[in-house]
Structure 1
Amino acid sequence: MSNFDPNAIIRGAQLTLVGANRALQNPDLFTTSHYRQAAIAVCAGLAIRIILNVPIYGVKGLLWLISVFVDLDHETWDDTIVNGLGFISKQVLQVPFFLMMVMSSITPTLDNVFMDSIRWVDQTYVQKHKSDDPTHLRAMYYPTLKMYSTHGTIEKKEQRSFLDGVLLFAAKYGRKAAISLGIYLLTFVPKIGPFVLPAASFYTFNKAVGPVPAGVIFAGGLLLPKHYMVSFLQTYFSSRSLMSQLLQPYFDRIRFTKQQKKVWFVDRSGVLFGFSVAFAVMVKIPLLGVLIYGIAEASTAYLITKITEPPPPPGEDNGFIESEVRWKNKHLLLNLPLERLDEFNAKMTGANETAKQADRVSDMPGRKFA
């Protein structure tokens, strides 16, 4: 429960607002390249959305044909079918969210957004603390992260065709969608149906946040209508998936093992959920969702500087990754007043190294601070 306490969730939500505000001040976020990629993503997402909704359009067409011969004005079963299909598409199968994840998997644009934003965060930090003692400043993130190889991830994305990218991600998404649909269909089974969603929620949250909050959610699931529980569970799952995807540019460079990465996420689960849940809801907005996804990626650069220590150069980690698995400065961040977030950072460096890295960031041409 300590990893998922309300204070951690609230602080994560605060980081969402501060990070988005900081990201939107970055002039590099509004370049022609990013706009072009966003336009392509919007068009592709709209096309996929239409294709995936073909079954719903087909059912509506069939109902219209039936209405020619049968008076459906006084019937409700046809509306129930249409609304049910829409609910399954949007909430159970998470089709709009699936479209956003597909786009992020087949284009390197979001990695570029992350790196541009981490550079902007460094620049803004230096500017805000230019009158402070350099020995009290944190090290820079961008110059070091830029040195790390992404192990061919970006190159593969660039070489992958659109169709191959969609099929690859669809295979991963299909398993989760099948499980979600299976659980939802079990809720209609007599006698056991009312207990399916509460049991699934308890199993999920017991592993993530412990038995006490999981028990509360289980009890709520017995009282709340089914569609509320489905929406709640899917929002939780989509926020986790979104956060994992947003952090991928960082983990492409700082290579954790599977077990280390799992502990890393669990230790920061409350803050990560608070940060991602609003974005997870907004990326489902038709057409605008992909633009919000870009802002979420840019905001993640600010989040990284609050929940990790600045990485050392490649080959000089000296146990850095192992030391990063557990969040050592959690209580410092959670107890810090909101107006002092910019003062927070974990790791100090010497004056010479800090100044050197700051110069490497601020010497980039055409930079202005907001």
Structure 2
Amino acid sequence: MSSVDRSTLLDKDKLRKKFDVSHFDLNAIIRGVQLTLVGAHRALQNPEIFTSQHYKQAAVAVAAGLAIRLLIAFPILGIKILLWALSLVLPLDRVSWDDALVDGLTFIEEHLLQAPLFLMSLMRYVTPALDDLFMDSLRWVDQTYAAKHRHDPDPSRLRAMYYPQLRLYRPTDGRTHSSGADESATIFLYRFARKGAISIAVFAASYLPLVGRLVLPAASFWTFKGAVGLGPASVIFGTGLLLPRRYLVIFLQTYFASRSLVRELLEPYFARIKFTKDEKKKWFRSREGLLFGFGIGFYTLLRVPLLGVLIYGIAEASTAYLITKVSDPPPPPSQSQGFAASQTEWRNKQKFLSLSLWNLDALHDKPPPYSEVDPHPVASRQ
């Protein structure tokens, strides 16, 4: 083969890769949404949730939800009171800018800054309740699986349990692998402040003359280019040119918020299984469509007034069920070398997506030895 032919072939492979949407296909997204409901149902069947301890946590969650809603509404309420006071001396009933101001601030808080989701996620760094809920739910998922297959004629073909091994791992911060809660909270606050600043800057730039109309469509193209490929991202860009600014912002922020939600919900897993930054990126990318569906399902439910924090707890419990469908059972900590590298690709994706909704526990494939997945596990983690 000539050098020209090889160059052409390489260019075609690169182009095909850029338009590849296999990791973000519609079937995976739909299955992710289904796991939202199946995981929540499985979590609510856990009798441990109805103990006095969890009743107390549920009551605290509802109270926290009320406090969060009041905290978010307080600035808007203050501005309404100020406008009411001004209306006593100014003819505000003849203008509409006061209503536009209140509506704009509400929109920025709930859609641009994602204040409710931020405050709910912040609870992880205040109390270990969410981590405990994940582990308790993982134990229940194992127990349910064992009970469901107790009459299997060949028990050796069943999967290994997740909870007994995962509880042996010392939890740290899933991003820094440090044990300091202050450092973890600081990084979380920095990431939220950075995202909020970028969101506000892009939103403000969309009001610039001439080029402003292109800002949000361009941002949507750049956001989705790496996730879904050039083809779908181009369609999103074209659609963004036709959508009103408000709906395009909601679309973009919903995508970002659902991704952030899933990453926070998976923190108890990554706090125990140590992935490098590159391994973690590959782990998420190979499961991106399913995780997006799972995240968008719970993000929609989280917007229920007052009950959002309680639903956040159910989402955390459901994530324990999710992790048993997208990863292999962990080995003992003493044998964990190379395990994270072996999980970067979702091996059983096609088999799992082809299962019926009522038979999601039918997959029992044993993971291959780590040496078959990654012949140089130590080198890959450098």
Distance change (3 Å), C-alpha of 1:37 and 1:167 = farther
Q: 2:298 aligned to 279, 289, 294, which one?
A: 279
Distance 1:56 1:186 in 2: 24
Letter in 1 for 2:301: M
| 2:174 paired with 1:121 | no
The size of the alignment, in residue pairs, is: 344
Distance 2:293 2:163 in 1: 25
Shift of 1:249: 0.6
| 2:60 paired with 1:40 | yes
Identity %: 56
1:182: which partner in 2? 201
1:142: which partner in 2? 163
Q: 1:91 aligned to 85, 108, 111, which one?
A: 111
Distance 1:345 1:318 in 2: 23
1:368: which partner in 2? none
Distance 2:198 2:50 in 1: 39
Letter in 1 for 2:293: G
**What SS is found at the alignment partner of 1:69?**
coil
Distance 1:208 1:189 in 2: 28
**CA offsets per residue over residues 220-266 of structure 1, 9 Å max, x none?**
11011111111111111111111001111111111100110011001
Residue pair 1:63, 1:78 contacting (<8 A) in 2 also: yes
**What SS is found at the alignment partner of 1:234?**
helix
Task: Provide structure 1 residue ranges, at least 5 long, that are not aligned to the other structure.
Answer: 350-370
Shift of 1:289: 0.6
Task: Provide structure 2 residue ranges, at least 5 long, that are not aligned to the other structure.
Answer: 1-20, 369-382
Letter in 1 for 2:148: K
Q: 1:224 aligned to 205, 218, 243, which one?
A: 243
Q: 1:191 aligned to 195, 206, 210, which one?
A: 210
**What SS is found at the alignment partner of 1:188?**
coil
| 2:120 paired with 1:100 | yes
**CA offsets per residue over residues 34-69 of structure 1, 9 Å max, x none?**
333343344445445544544323321221122112
1:78: which partner in 2? 98
Residue pair 1:22, 1:121 contacting (<8 A) in 2 also: yes
| 2:57 paired with 1:31 | no
1:234: which partner in 2? 253
241-250 vs 26-35, greater mean Cα deviation? 26-35
Distance change (3 Å), C-alpha of 1:143 and 1:306 = same
Shift of 1:209: 1.6
Distance 2:180 2:336 in 1: 26
Distance 1:166 1:76 in 2: 41
2:357: which partner in 1? 338
Distance 1:326 1:39 in 2: 40
Residue pair 1:12, 1:274 contacting (<8 A) in 2 also: yes
Q: Which has the higher contact order (CA 8 A, sep 6+)?
A: 1
TM-score by length of 1: 0.87
TM-score by length of 2: 0.84
Q: 1:67 aligned to 84, 87, 90, which one?
A: 87
Distance 1:60 1:71 in 2: 15
| 2:229 paired with 1:210 | yes
Residue pair 1:45, 1:99 contacting (<8 A) in 2 also: no
Distance 1:66 1:128 in 2: 66
Residue pair 1:306, 1:345 contacting (<8 A) in 2 also: no
**What SS is found at the alignment partner of 2:333?**
coil
Distance 1:217 1:286 in 2: 30
Letter in 2 for 1:180: S
Distance 1:87 1:249 in 2: 32
Residue pair 1:41, 1:103 contacting (<8 A) in 2 also: no
1:265: which partner in 2? 284
Letter in 1 for 2:325: K
2:341: which partner in 1? 322
Distance change (3 Å), C-alpha of 1:340 and 1:308 = same
Residue pair 1:308, 1:346 contacting (<8 A) in 2 also: no
1:367: which partner in 2? none
Distance change (3 Å), C-alpha of 1:84 and 1:318 = closer
